Amino acid sequence: MAYETIVEDNIDILVCGAGLGGTGAAWEARYWGQDKKIVIAEKANIDRSGAVAQGLYAINCYMGTRFGENNPEDHVRYARIDLMGMVREDLAFDMARHVDSAVHQFEEWGLPLMRDPKTGAYQREGRWQIMIHGESYKPIVAEAAKKSADKVFNRICVTHLLMDESKENRIAGAVGFNVRTGNYHVFKSKTVIVAAGGASNIYKPRSVGEGARSRVVCALVIRLGLRVADQRRRQDDPDGEPHRTGPVQGRLRSGGCILPAPQDLHPELPGRRV
Ligand SMILES: Cc1cc2nc3c(=O)[nH]c(=O)nc-3n(C[C@H](O)[C@H](O)[C@H](O)COP(=O)(O)OP(=O)(O)OC[C@H]3O[C@@H](n4cnc5c(N)ncnc54)[C@H](O)[C@@H]3O)c2cc1C
């Protein structure tokens, strides 16, 4: 059987991977870029893909500022102590100040959150975690992403990102294949958001233990020569023994690596060119 090559051209924003990070990125991209062509390429099916589709029972990190529970600076203090000082406080603060509004939006979209009948505040397990009906989490965020994107390509495993031939340090798109049909897909895009899953339990394969992540994000971008500068919130200790690190994980782990500026491109690893 001959495989087809399918080209999707003139994309403004390509989102590779549509777990919680990618669906959010697509929604946010549409919010800021009403007239942009936004395309999603997802290895599985967006309705049930990614770690969050496993039916989580909680949102690991919620400040509860509107209920007078915590402020972002409390969370930075918690993260600093928990990570023995090895934390970028500006990033932790930035995450913490946005997390509540994201949760409120999920509730508006229909995610059931358990509430304390007396206070009306979200029901908690521990200081940072709130309880949800996790089974419906991914279909709800997937719906928002599908409405935001011009096209969603399911079953496309992105294998390489492409660099622009004529402009230095400029992304040009990505290629991959359909895991069902074997067809080859070329996405030509001005911008690429790689949200294919960060890294945690990095010394262990995904199949071992709870919470391990495949670090596909890193695999894709390292080939372009980007140095993966920071694996914030790494979950293992150097001896390889995993330990549950608690509530900040969900948000900080999303998209787990912080990428440096283009001038940090590794000179000996030029990306594939088109
Ligand atoms: C077992 C488990 C329990 C958890 N429990 C909780 C919890 O209770 N509360 C909480 O807040 N957090 C929890 N987390 C963490 C939370 O689910 C994750 O941090 C979050 O879902 C990560 O989202 P993501 O989009 O960064 O990555 P992912 O969910 O990994 O999404 C990556 C997406 O990219 C796709 N993809 C991968 N490679 C490619 C490729 N090459 N081409 C195209 N697409 C690709 C994948 O199919 C997937 O859809 C849990 C995680 C796990 C694994």
DSSP conformational letter for 151: E
Q: pLDDT digit string (tens) for 151-186?
A: 999 999 999 999 999 998 899 999 999 999 999 999
User: Are residue 167 and residue 234 in the same domain, yes or no?
Assistant: yes
pLDDT digit string (tens) for 12-70? 999 999 999 999 999 999 999 999 999 999 999 999 998 888 778 899 899 999 999 99
Asked if 123 and 147 sit in the same domain, the reply is no
- Check if the beta carbon of residue 109 is closer than 8 Å to that of residue 146: no
If asked whether residues 178 and 245 sit together in one domain, one would say: yes
Q: What is the best residue among 16, 20, 125 to mutate for testing ligand 1's pocket, by most ligand atoms within 8 Å of CB? A: 20
More confidently predicted of 265 and 101: 101
| Amino acid letter, residue 90 | D
User: Looking at residue 269, which CATH number applies to its domain?
Assistant: 3.50.50.60
Give Dmax (Cα) for the chain. Answer: 64
What is the number of domains present in the chain? 2
Is 60 close to ligand 1, i.e. is its CB under 6 Å away?
Answer: yes
Are 184 and 247 contained in the same domain? yes
227 and 111 share one domain = no
Residues of the chain above pLDDT 70, percent = 76
97 CA to centre of ligand 1 in angstroms: 22
Query: Looking at the structure, do residues 69 and 179 belong to the same domain, yes or no?
Result: no
Lowest mean pLDDT of 77-81, 121-125, 132-136, 236-240, name the range.
236-240
Q: Are residues 190 and 103 in the same domain?
A: no
Q: Does residue 155 share a domain with residue 45?
A: yes
> For ligand 1, is residue 56 a contact (CB within 6 Å)?
yes
Phi–psi pair at 26, nearest 5 degrees: -65, -45
Residues 20 and 123 in one domain: no
Choose the weakest-confidence range: 79-83, 129-133, 221-225, 270-274.
270-274
C-alpha of residue 2 to centroid of ligand 1, in Å:
34
Q: Which of 132-136, 192-196, 245-249 has the lowest mean pLDDT?
A: 245-249
Counting Cα atoms < 13 Å in the Cβ hemisphere of 205 gives 2
207-247 pLDDT, tens digit per residue, is: 555 555 556 777 888 788 776 655 544 433 333 333 333 32
Give the pLDDT of residue 72: 95
Q: What is the pLDDT of residue 110?
A: 95
Q: Please check whether residues 169 and 274 belong to one and the same domain.
A: yes
Q: Is the pLDDT of residue 126 over 60?
A: yes
Give the whole-angstrom CA distance, residue 153 versus residue 134: 25
Q: Whose CA is closest to atom 52 on ligand 1?
A: 211
Domain boundary among 131, 150, 173: 131
Return the residue whose CA atom lies nearest to atom 6 of ligand 1: 56
- If you take atom 15 of ligand 1, which residue's CA is the nearest one? 250
Domain carrying residue 257? 1-53+136-274
Ligand 1 atom with the shortest distance to the CA of 216: 38
145 pocket-lining for ligand 1 (C-beta < 6 Å): no
| pLDDT(6) > 90 | yes
195 C-beta closer than 6 A to ligand 1: yes
Answer yes or no: are the C-beta atoms of 153 and 126 closer than 8 Å: no
Residue closest to 104 by CA, chosen among 149, 134, 68, 63: 63
Which residue stretches of the chain are H helix? 20-32, 72-82, 89-109, 137-148, 216-222, 249-253
Question: Which candidate, 194, 188, 190, 183, places its Cα nearest to that of 155?
Answer: 183
* Single residue among 95, 114, 131 that ends a domain in this structure: 131
Same domain, 9 and 35: yes
Domain final position from 131, 158, 187: 131
Domain shared by 62 and 48, yes or no: no
- Mean of the per-residue pLDDT values of the chain: 81
Token pair of 218 as six digits: 């890193």
